[in-house]
């Protein structure tokens, strides 16, 4: 598939499907080191995105569709994750504005911009046991795939794999941000729910491009 606005719609629709399926797991992860609502929050947000994107309503470029999604995520996810994902998709939109089709380097820039937006908004760094661990591993893997000549689809596959590894890496970490930080050592051994939802969303991006 060409990475145009239809791909962004396919990505976000696949993400909404996957988040709906994974919502109980995300709630369960958040019950262990937070307040148990991450799946519910994400599902509400992505269902709002799904509803907003019907019949080309989101726009005709990748940037426009990403922006429409960001607005829905900001207004409907809530919690800590809402503004973070909203900022991620807004920055992703800005990173690819003016382009009708995205190539491998555009995908790298999109993911980098999302990561930087989350870091600026939430002041977490890699190793703090948050969604930043998944986004930063995704960005690193995406850049490596692009630099070694991968096409946009391969870059997305690398990003999804990176995000999954980044999410798994949070098991061993001590939390420094968000609700989990109140638990200290008791959170070690548990996986960060926002890192897992990030991996779900980036896997959907790769699958929509395949």
Residues contributing to the site for ligand ADP (CB under 6 A): 30, 34-35, 37-38, 41, 79-81, 84, 118, 122-124, 130-132, 177-179, 192-195
88 touches 135 (CB < 8 A) = yes
175 touches 65 (CB < 8 A) = no
Residue 78 and residue 82: Cα distance in Å, rounded?
Answer: 5
Binders of Mg ion among 32-61, rule CB under 5 A? Answer: 34-35, 37-38
In angstroms, what is the minimal distance from the CB of 55 to ligand ADP? Answer: 29
What residue 150 binds from Mg ion, ligand ADP, none (CB within 5 to 8 A, per partner kind)? none
Taking CB positions, which residue lies at the least distance from ligand ADP? 194
Which C-beta is closer to ligand ADP: that of 144 or that of 183?
A: 183
* Long-range residue pairs from 112-116, CB within 8 A, at least 24 positions apart, any chain: 112/139, 112/142, 112/143, 114/88, 114/89, 115/88, 115/139, 116/91
Binders of Mg ion among 82-101, rule CB under 5 A? Answer: none
Q: Specify the stretch interacting with Mg ion by CB under 5 A; choose among 28-36, 85-93, 105-113, 129-137.
A: 28-36
Name the DSSP class of 175: P
In angstroms, what is the minimal distance from the CB of 199 to ligand ADP? Answer: 11
Residue 116: count other Cβ atoms within 10 Å of its Cβ.
17
What residue 140 binds from Mg ion, ligand ADP, none (CB within 5 to 8 A, per partner kind)? none
In angstroms, what is the minimal distance from the CB of 81 to ligand ADP? Answer: 4
Structure tokens at 3: 């990475």
């Amino acid at each position: 598939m060409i990475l145009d606005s239809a791909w962004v719609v396919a990505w976000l629709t696949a993400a909404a499907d996957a988040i709906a399926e994974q919502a109980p797991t995300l709630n369960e992860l958040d019950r262990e080191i937070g307040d148990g609502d991450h799946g519910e929050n994400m599902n509400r947000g992505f269902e709002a995105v799904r509803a907003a994107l019907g019949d080309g309503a989101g726009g005709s470029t990748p940037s426009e569709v990403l922006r429409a999604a960001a607005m829905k995520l900001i207004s409907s996810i809530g919690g800590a994750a809402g503004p973070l994902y909203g900022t991620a998709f807004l920055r992703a939109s800005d990173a690819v504005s003016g382009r009708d089709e995205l190539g491998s380097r555009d995908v790298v820039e999109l993911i980098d911009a999302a990561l930087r937006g989350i870091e600026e908004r939430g002041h977490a760094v890699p190793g703090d046991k948050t969604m930043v661990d998944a986004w930063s591993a995704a960005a690193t893997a995406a850049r490596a795939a692009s630099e070694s000549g991968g096409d946009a689809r391969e870059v997305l596959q690398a990003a999804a794999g990176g995000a999954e590894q980044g999410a798994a890496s949070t098991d061993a970490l001590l939390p420094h941000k968000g609700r989990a930080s109140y638990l200290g050592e008791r959170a070690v051994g548990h996986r960060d729910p926002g890192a897992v939802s990030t991996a779900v969303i980036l896997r959907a991006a790769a699958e929509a491009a395949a």
